Structure 1
């Protein structure tokens, strides 16, 4: 390994970065979550997704602003470090680690559960090891190879989702819906139910921020990354809402025998057993692409923190001299798949959400603080730099309050451990957090 001064190489285009963001969010996730969201919203799942899209766009705009001013790979960690100072940046990075360290494991676990359901002769643990191993290998080879593999898998996943939609439309041609407006609003729906469902749907958008971890590997990053962040949320949100609308026409209302498997049941209804098995592949393929993107982003955050010496630099801050990838960080995130064998999926996703929404909140705060310190920002306005991020903070804080008590306990315990590590790192706040100034990001863009 080498602590090369060359650093990460800018090879990715706007299309590549958007593809990584969409695969991170997993296009087929709407099929998985539809039953739960439709039940919560009394049969108005597309409206819940639209509300969630608008809510997440507030924070996406904050990420876009920070990515324009600070095109570095640390995402929320890098923004907080530059705007709020080293100590605050470290704690934000520590919270993000809760998300980025365990999210690859969750992606592999979901994929492995679906693979085991279709191929029960192979146990979940074997699928976990295979998925994690293949993903890690692709990411170690290099970002260009990961880019090509990700584009292919994301295209296949989107194709299978659209194929499912096509079968639904053919089914609807022979079974005229009673109402085309009921999926958007009906006699049973209400603001409380739709808001609660939107809070659940918001979890589908985790990952739009991950494209900011690729800033140093993206060409013309200060322009490309902000556009990519907004595009990922907009494209993903509109896809989720459109698919949910079609599914809601096929199955009106919010009552299901088992909402967790409604996508499989609906696939059987519109296409039969063989098609249902193929539709299941959308989740499997999307899961592999998501795991690839999630691990790539996680390793870049670890690399950024290692390069800054807030994590052991010789391990986390090292790049392979030939592939220019943080191999040791990739191996560590790959090994995290072993934790998925003992942690339940619901528990894992709940405390991951604590880290993600905490980071979202702090990025919104960073935008406001940055504006108050730099009121001469080109194109800056009170609406865009104060009002919108303030609303975004309100949304993300609300989402944190909706997490389970177990998630809050684990999240706060993780934060307390980070405070203890920060105390040790600074020798009781007697030493400053190590600083790293990159030539192209030493001064924020105006």
Structure 2
């Protein structure tokens, strides 16, 4: 038993990750990371969740839900900025926690993030699919229910648009980081412009009575979730939180950052500030245009609101750019998720082929193909609303680890871990607040989300104890033998 606990708590040497990730090309700048972060955060959620959460939970107070979620995300982002600056490794929280707390805890954090990326790719693709179908419907083009709705919905079989979208993005990111980031940067600019157009046009269609009462009277929805009052705002925070998780995608690509001590903090914090401003503005305008009840079960409320307010051409323009721009979120999520899978394969926690780097493009192609297949299966057969809260559950677990990880990190900075270019302010208070705030949001998730998170955790424990722990030990033994052989060869 003593050996088991020793194994579980064995901390990885940060130099090992530096050497292993040296195969990755450090080509990404602050501009690239800002585009990656904004592109990932300002995604499907900004065109969908403001309406859904207003109708289901918070009413016009959805704006408060977005602000509270932003505060929680901001606290964690400060911790992420310090960690990424000190340890610019692929795999973000998984690699960091491996170094700081040990192998088992790194696996828990990484496994939680893996659920986020598998589901987030499917979620964003499903939202893109809904907006695309809403865009072409006025042209008289309608897909049959069996090909536009997942099998988990009545009359549905597969969302074929979601499948095609994920495959297109997978093709793009296997072409190389430099090509991908150029496409990402252009699409992000277009998407932000589309959001700004909606805000300015929507301002002309606002009716003040739609804000009254700003915080509706509380009651319980038929499905048991809270509506109105603080309970509704709190429930909205838990759903909305997934909107802000994109900064983890920046951290996951740390191994490809130029001058990571500077570029990582700027990319993480800068992208979150831009995204929060846009989210709050969109939610405030959207609930002002029409009474929040109109957005119930509406997966494309932004386009709908513009059309209903007499701006069909603007709606089409915004939705065209939004649909194209949502590819940026998919690019970011699939890049980050593949780097996490690569990290698992790199360390032997999952099959070694996932940790292989393509010699031509210096990319983890096997990991990219794996996340593509799994995301296609999830996105094609599960509904949009079902996916939303499950993303937050996995992310929040990793966020809690990162927040408390700042304490042991500080003791090692400048010693065996590099001195970061950014430090979380108001230490030791803010890391504790980040942990407690993440825990509070996790607690506010609905029962199903917590149940599925528990099931995913149990599966992760089985994988770790049956496969990961033993295979990692074999991998480390093989690496030690190779190191000794190299040393012997140099002596000879």
TM-score by length of 1: 0.86
The residue number in structure 1 matching 2:361 is 323
Residues 91-140 of structure 1 deviation map (CA, whole Å, 9 limit, x = unaligned) = 21122111122322222222123323434248434322321221111100
The residue number in structure 2 matching 1:424 is 466
1:38 is displaced (CA, Å) by 3.2
> 1:4, 1:321 within 8 Å by CA — same for their partners in 2?
no
1:327 is displaced (CA, Å) by 1.0
Choose which of 144, 152, 157 in structure 1 pairs with 2:186.
Answer: 152
Structure 1: runs of 5+ lacking an equivalent? 438-446
Comparing 38-47 with 73-82, greater Cα deviation is found at 38-47
> 1:27, 1:240 within 8 Å by CA — same for their partners in 2?
no
Choose which of 314, 324, 327 in structure 2 pairs with 1:288.
Answer: 327
Distance of 1:304 and 1:277 partners within structure 2: 41
1:134 maps onto 2:156 in alignment: no
CA RMSD of superposed structures (Å): 3.2
Choose which of 256, 272, 275 in structure 1 pairs with 2:294.
Answer: 256
> Secondary structure of the equivalent of 1:325?
coil
Distance of 2:212 and 2:47 partners within structure 1: 15
The residue number in structure 1 matching 2:73 is 56
1:37 maps onto 2:53 in alignment: yes
Distance of 2:105 and 2:142 partners within structure 1: 47
1:269 is displaced (CA, Å) by 3.4
Structure 2: runs of 5+ lacking an equivalent? 1-18, 149-158, 218-227, 481-492
1:375 is displaced (CA, Å) by 10
The residue number in structure 2 matching 1:165 is 199
Distance of 1:224 and 1:381 partners within structure 2: 14
Distance of 2:293 and 2:240 partners within structure 1: 18
1:112 maps onto 2:129 in alignment: yes
1:229 maps onto 2:268 in alignment: yes
Residues 1:397 and 1:161: Cα distance change in structure 2 (over 3 Å): same
The residue number in structure 2 matching 1:7 is 23
1:75 is displaced (CA, Å) by 0.4
1:202 is displaced (CA, Å) by 1.9
Distance of 1:341 and 1:262 partners within structure 2: 22
The residue number in structure 2 matching 1:312 is 351
Comparing 69-78 with 341-350, greater Cα deviation is found at 341-350
> 1:45, 1:183 within 8 Å by CA — same for their partners in 2?
no
Query: How many equivalent residue pairs?
Result: 428
1:408 maps onto 2:468 in alignment: no
Distance of 2:59 and 2:276 partners within structure 1: 20
The residue number in structure 2 matching 1:76 is 93
1:433 is displaced (CA, Å) by 8.3
Residues 1:143 and 1:226: Cα distance change in structure 2 (over 3 Å): same
The residue number in structure 2 matching 1:442 is none
1:379 is displaced (CA, Å) by 9.6
> 2:163, 2:379 within 8 Å by CA — same for their partners in 1?
no
Distance of 1:205 and 1:380 partners within structure 2: 21
Residues 1:322 and 1:432: Cα distance change in structure 2 (over 3 Å): closer
Residues 1:165 and 1:5: Cα distance change in structure 2 (over 3 Å): closer
Residues 1:363 and 1:183: Cα distance change in structure 2 (over 3 Å): farther
